[in-house]
């Protein structure tokens, strides 16, 4: 029966597994390790360690205990711990888990940091636009209405925005908040994630980033599992469950029956050219034929991780001047729209 425990984040899981690995390598028995960690764990997460320790005292395998907990241990963690316990190399398995999870967290951090700068700029622009539209533009309507001159195009656009905000400012603000909430829900809800990820994959430059990210994650996860002695079909199942990209997860799940039927991974990967580039199929096939399959998967993960790093750097460097030009254009359009008719009136008077 599943026991209710507060879910541990990935960082907490990494820290917990690293501590267990270090103490096991030092020769401390598992029950003693968990007792020590139980005393040092904050009260909110202590129930997780207590659950692990109580089951360890009864001789229950650690992997089985993790699986019965609702603390959020990923399938890859449970499978590698189970393999380590079965083969007597739990310390090695825990080290492999920590290395893999740390690399996955670093990958996620790099992608998020690359997206934070433009996201922050767009949020700041939206808030500034709402503030100007609600508090500034409505006051300009009487001024421009009193000017007996033909208004330029950008001034007419500003006046139209002023009228809209004056009459519907509250609804526009609520609509913007609602749209933001809807977008956040679409990105995070399990039902809509596959559709959102598929739509994002249609954007040319983002598609390349996305492909590099999920191939790096797929290859490194699979190599970690295979290196621990897990059979290919079981490793693919755990890899699929560990994938954040739902499109890739579905693809890998459809590959498992084909592998079980006797096809090689290289042959199966070749059936999905939109997901896996030709280079991946070639390298996987060479690795299978040469007997260096695990090393080849590790190399593919490193290769696409490197490609992702380079793409993120290039995107960040290209985005900064583009955003500056975009912001400058909006400011220039607004300032000229306000100043030009006033300047035309003063010139006519002079």
| Domains of the chain, each with CATH number or no CATH | 10-73 (no CATH), 102-350 (1.20.81.30)
For residues 172 and 165, the answer to whether their CB atoms sit within 8 Å is yes
Confidence grade of residue 284 (pLDDT, cut at 50, 70, 90) = very high
Radius of gyration of the chain (CA): 28
For residues 80 and 282, the answer to whether their CB atoms sit within 8 Å is no
- Note the pLDDT of residue 2: 39
Is the model's pLDDT at 342 over the cut of 80?
no
* Paired residues of 69 in beta bridges: 3
Highest mean pLDDT among 160-174, 179-193, 279-293: 279-293
As a dihedral over the C-alpha atoms of residue 170, residue 174, residue 180, residue 181, rounded to 10 degrees, the angle is: 170
pTM of the model: 0.68
Which of 190 and 262 is assigned the larger pLDDT?
Answer: 262
* Paired residues of 3 in beta bridges: 69
Highest mean pLDDT among 74-88, 237-251, 266-280: 266-280
Residue 83, classified by CB atoms within 10 Å of its CB into exposed (0-12), middle (13-18) or buried (19+), is: buried
Three-state DSSP at 226 gives helix
What is the tens place of the pLDDT at every residue in 23-69?
A: 988 888 989 999 998 888 777 778 888 888 898 898 888 888 888 87
Which of 256 and 308 is assigned the larger pLDDT?
Answer: 256
Residue 182, classified by CB atoms within 10 Å of its CB into exposed (0-12), middle (13-18) or buried (19+), is: exposed
Confidence grade of residue 256 (pLDDT, cut at 50, 70, 90) = very high
- Note the pLDDT of residue 259: 92
Q: Which two tokens stand for residue 94?
A: 């825990």
Q: What are phi and psi of 73, to 5 degrees?
A: -70, 125
- Note the pLDDT of residue 207: 74
For residues 300 and 280, the answer to whether their CB atoms sit within 8 Å is yes
| Number of Cβ atoms within 10 Å of the Cβ of 49 | 22
Is the model's pLDDT at 299 over the cut of 90?
yes
Is the model's pLDDT at 106 over the cut of 50?
yes
Which of 141 and 263 is assigned the larger pLDDT?
Answer: 263
* Paired residues of 28 in beta bridges: none
For residues 205 and 315, the answer to whether their CB atoms sit within 8 Å is yes
C-alpha span between 176 and 178 (Å, rounded): 5
Three-state DSSP at 145 gives helix
C-alpha span between 89 and 244 (Å, rounded): 28
């Amino acid at each position: 029966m599943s026991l209710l425990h507060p879910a541990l984040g990935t960082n907490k899981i990494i820290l917990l597994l690293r501590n267990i690995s270090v103490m096991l390598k030092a020769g401390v028995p598992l029950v003693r390790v968990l007792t020590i960690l139980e005393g040092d764990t904050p009260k909110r997460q202590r129930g997780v360690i207590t659950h692990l320790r109580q089951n360890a005292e009864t001789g229950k395998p650690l992997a089985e205990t993790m699986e019965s907990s609702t603390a959020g241990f990923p399938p890859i963690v449970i499978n590698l711990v189970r393999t380590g316990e079965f083969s007597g190399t739990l310390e090695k398995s825990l080290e492999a888990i920590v290395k893999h999870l740390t690399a996955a967290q670093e990958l996620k951090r790099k992608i998020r940091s690359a997206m934070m700068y433009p996201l922050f700029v767009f949020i700041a622009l939206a808030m500034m636009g709402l503030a100007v539209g609600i508090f500034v533009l409505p006051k300009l309507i009487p001024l421009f209405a009193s000017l007996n001159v033909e208004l330029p195009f950008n001034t007419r656009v500003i006046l139209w925005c002023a009228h809209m905000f004056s009459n519907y400012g509250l609804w526009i603000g609520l609509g913007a908040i609602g749209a933001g909430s809807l977008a956040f829900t679409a990105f995070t809800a399990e039902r809509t994630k596959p559709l959102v990820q598929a739509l994002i994959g249609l954007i040319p430059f983002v598609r390349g980033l996305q492909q590099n990210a999920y191939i790096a994650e797929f290859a490194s996860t699979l190599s970690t599992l295979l290196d621990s002695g897990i059979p290919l079909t079981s490793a693919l199942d755990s890899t699929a469950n560990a994938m954040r990209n739902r499109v890739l997860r579905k693809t890998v799940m459809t590959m498992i029956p084909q592998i079980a039927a006797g096809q090689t991974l290289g042959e199966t990967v070749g059936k999905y050219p939109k997901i896996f580039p030709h280079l991946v199929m070639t390298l996987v096939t060479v690795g299978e034929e040469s007997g260096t399959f695990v090393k080849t998967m590790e190399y593919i993960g490193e290769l696409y991780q490197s490609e992702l790093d380079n793409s993120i750097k290039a995107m960040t460097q290209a985005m900064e001047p583009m955003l500056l030009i975009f912001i400058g254009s909006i400011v220039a359009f607004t300032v000229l729209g306000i100043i030009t008719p006033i300047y035309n009136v003063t010139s006519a008077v002079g």
